[in-house]
Structure 1
Amino acid sequence: MPAYHSAFNAPGGRMAGNMGIIPIKSKIRGPAPPAPEDQEDVIDEAIDFFRANCLFRNFEIKGPGDRTLIYLTLFIQECLQKAAKTATLADGQRQLMTLAVSNFPIPGDAGFPLNTMFEKPANRADADLLRAYLTQCRQELVTRFTQRLYEQDKPSKWWMSFSKRKFMNIASVGTTM
């Protein structure tokens, strides 16, 4: 069975390194172009495909949307590990939002686990754009994901059962530089 791929793999569009700056539905300020409210975006894809994709050790990259999907899948994995240590929705939201805005490595940095699949941004402006885009994606993902993760003010056992899985045998996307 093949992994689920992003619907946003079309060539063209704005790029930072070889990662696409894909439109997202977000109220959070950032460089991502706005996506139509009535369509799924890459954040929805990452959350919807997480449980299926996290079972794979290999993932064939078919375009810039897949790179974003891989990054967000690893970030969801990191969120699940962090949420396993929280007991309530309010505590989980606070912990995960702190994780989302914390300092993290980007492609080309020494602590980034996916440097073999991602290109380093060409210049400082691209690196700043990529960091701002990933921060916006992480914040939006946390906002949407906590609504699914917590049931009746405690973490869902169905989501938490995936907290120990490793997508592509990678522990996390790293939270510090």
Structure 2
Amino acid sequence: MPAYHSAYNGSDARSIGGMYLLPLKTKYRGPAPVAADPEASDIIDEVIDLFRANCLFRNFEVRGDGDRLLIYGILYLSDCLTRIASKQPAPSKQEAQKLLQTHALGNFAIPGDATFSLNAVYSSPSSKADADVLRQYLQQFRQEFSDRLVERLYADGQLSKWWMSFQKRKFMGKTL
């Protein structure tokens, strides 16, 4: 069974560091273009929907810059699940929201940094300005992602054990 790839491969969006800067449905400020249709799904919805199927794969054929953003999102989601699982007892929805927002705003590596774990898959931004735009986009992506993930994890008011069962899975054997 092959892995699921991004529907955004071949998009005409701006690409920095091998990742598209795709439109987001977000309330956070940043360089992400505003989604034309607020009801249509965006890359964050796609990552959350494809996570459980794709996290089982150790190999993933990259078919475009949309797939690279999908990989980043899957690894970030896995990291978020690990952070939530490390809290004992299980955090409430508000505590999880605060935990993930703090994580989203924290310092993180981008493609081209020495500490970025997937530099072989991504290219370095061509300039310092591009690196700054990519960092801002990924921070905006992480903030909105954290909000939507918490809504999905606590859909029925308590932490979903079905989502948390995937927290030990390492997509491609990597972590952020």
| TM-score for both structures, normalised by structure 2 | 0.94
Question: Which ranges in structure 1 are unaligned for 5 or more consecutive residues?
Answer: none
**Partner-residue secondary structure (3-state), 2:121:** coil
Contact kept? 1:107, 1:120, Cα under 8 Å: yes
Cα displacement (A) at 1:38: 2.2
2:41 is matched by which residue type in structure 1?
E
Cα distance in structure 2, aligned partners of 1:121 and 1:45: 25
**Counterpart in 2 of 1:27?**
27
Cα distance in structure 1, aligned partners of 2:41 and 2:92: 28
Cα distance in structure 2, aligned partners of 1:7 and 1:13: 13
Cα distance in structure 1, aligned partners of 2:62 and 2:157: 37
Cα displacement (A) at 1:99: 0.5
| TM-score for both structures, normalised by structure 1 | 0.94
* Deviations, residues 97-153 of structure 1 (Å, cap 9, x unaligned): 101110000001111111000001001000001000000100010011101112554
RMSD: 1.1
**Counterpart in 2 of 1:119?**
123
2:126 is matched by which residue type in structure 1?
A
Q: Which sits farther off after the overlay, 145-154 or 106-115?
A: 145-154
Identity %: 53
Cα displacement (A) at 1:11: 4.8
Out of 119, 128, 131, the position equivalent to 2:132 is 128
* Deviations, residues 58-103 of structure 1 (Å, cap 9, x unaligned): 1111111100000000000000001112421111110011011100
**Partner-residue secondary structure (3-state), 1:69:** helix
- Is residue 116 of structure 2 the alignment partner of residue 106 of structure 1? no
1:6-155 matched pairs, under 5 angstroms: 6-35=6-35, 36-84=37-85, 85=87, 86-155=90-159
Cα distance in structure 2, aligned partners of 1:66 and 1:142: 20
Contact kept? 1:11, 1:63, Cα under 8 Å: no
Cα distance in structure 1, aligned partners of 2:11 and 2:147: 29
Cα distance in structure 2, aligned partners of 1:100 and 1:17: 20
Cα distance in structure 2, aligned partners of 1:30 and 1:52: 30
Cα distance in structure 1, aligned partners of 2:83 and 2:159: 11
Question: Which ranges in structure 2 are unaligned for 5 or more consecutive residues?
Answer: none
1:137 is matched by which residue type in structure 2?
F
Cα distance 1:158–1:125, how it changes in 2: closer, same or farther (>3 A)? same
Cα distance in structure 1, aligned partners of 2:48 and 2:117: 21
Which aligned segments of 4 or more residues in structure 1 are displaced greater than 4 angstroms? Answer: none
* Deviations, residues 12-51 of structure 1 (Å, cap 9, x unaligned): 3211122111111111111010112121110000000000
